[in-house]
Structure 1
Amino acid sequence: MSKSADDGTFMYFAFGSNLLKERLQAANPSAAFFTTARLKDYQLEFGVCEAIVGNIWHGGVATIRHSPGSEVWGVVWSISNRNKDTLDEQEGVSKGVYSPLDVWVESGDGGTPPTTTRCRTYQLNNFQPCPPSPPYKHVVCCGARQQGLPVEYCERLQALETNNYTGPTFLDHMRHTLTALEHSSFIG
């Protein structure tokens, strides 16, 4: 069974900082959780766009790379078409940082045939490997746990090496929200 949005919304597959609801909805308030899903034959990587010297996270950001046999877990969000431009802006499409990519993701609990959903996602351009900063890793891990991604996958994210950056980042203005998330019952 497959699904695709055609009701004034589009489906977006998030696998990085936009796993965290508060991060995504800050610029895209229409975003609504649809399901968790996996993208087959892709691998999660962290890096920077060669053309951009710095970024708000002070380290590598999430991207995907085609890799047969691998999988990336994430969240499918239903977003109003009126927020497509704001999502593109958040992802730096006009600056050449990321490019939109259409993918099919699978969701399901294992007891039923998987449902496939066509989604918009983003892939980093001119990829140069770079570990994430601790704040970026923190946002990704909080979002993965918040959205109920598989425990093993969350553990793999938690085990990621960082670049040990300790200065200020975009996360500073989100700190209050993340502190509240850490103390809630879904983050253990």
Structure 2
Amino acid sequence: MASTKSFNYFAFGSNLLSKRIHMESPTAVRKGFGYIENYSLDFFHFAARWRGAPATIVENEGYKVWGAIWEIESINLTGLDRQEGVHNQVYKPLTLPVYTSEGGTLECRVYQLVKNPPKADFTEPDRPFERQPSKTYLDVILRGAKETGLPVDYTDFLSTIKHNGHTGDPKFEIDLAVQD
């Protein structure tokens, strides 16, 4: 449980990866993983840094989005909001119940695009170009999902998402370089 000096944050995109979240939130401590109900993962908008569409959550009855649960000290909230583009009205913060892998529920901060796409009416192979993440961004999400220990069927689903083939900002990509 987060104290008044900290908050719980649910990450489903690039902040699944510890190296990425620690860039703006050095106090972040992974507390486990969980899912939000009645949302599906989608991609929309264009992020110049990533050269593709960033992740968002879309209300969608019967679906789940899995992610990492981080506890972050409140002193990092401004940096996290800035990273998510709240000041530029790219993402908006929500507070949603997250069902933990242990069977409990935590209220967590989560970010959703302000201009969210309509519910998907296509199958993954048919994902239109404007709703495709870059290869770099998708790689960071997949690495983070594995690092977090998300269920294999969910990481398998993530690996089927079509990317646009672009790599991200070279300076940013170096910071997150694969160290396998």
TM-score of the two chains, using structure 1 as the length reference: 0.84
Matched, 1:105 2:102: no
1:123 aligned partner: 112
How far apart, in 1, do the equivalents of 2:171 and 2:45 lie? 16
Name the SS for the 2:162 alignment partner: coil
Q: How many correspondences in the alignment? A: 168
Q: Which AA in structure 2 matches 1:123?
A: Q
1:66–1:169: structure 2 CA closer, same or farther, 3 Å change rule? farther
Cα deviation per residue 1:85-137 (whole Å; 9 max; x = unaligned)? 0000000000000000110010135xxxx200000010001135520000000
Q: How does 1:31-46 map to 2 (within 5 A)?
A: 31-46=28-43
Q: Structure 1 residue 170: deviation in Å? A: 5.5
Provide structure 2 residue ranges, at least 5 long, that are not aligned to the other structure. Answer: 118-129
Aligned 1:48-127 pairs, distance under 5 A: 48=45, 54-109=47-102, 114-127=103-116
Q: Give TM-score scaled by structure 2 length.
A: 0.87
Gaps of 5+ in 1: 184-188
RMSD, aligned CA: 1.6
Could you tell which deviates more after superposition, 118-127 or 163-172? 163-172
CA displacement, residues 27-63 of structure 1 (integer Å, 9 cap, x when unaligned): 11000001100111110001116xxxx5200101000
Q: Identity percentage over the alignment? A: 36
CA separation in 1, counterparts of 2:2 and 2:110?
A: 14
Runs of 4+ in 1 over 6 A off after TM superposition: none
The answer to whether 1:6 aligns with 2:3 is: yes
1:127 alignment partner, SS class: coil
Separation (CA, whole Å) in 2 of partners of 1:157 and 1:169: 23
On the 8 A contact 2:52/2:164 being kept in 1, the answer is: yes
The answer (yes or no) to whether the contact 1:57–1:170 under 8 Å persists in 2 is no
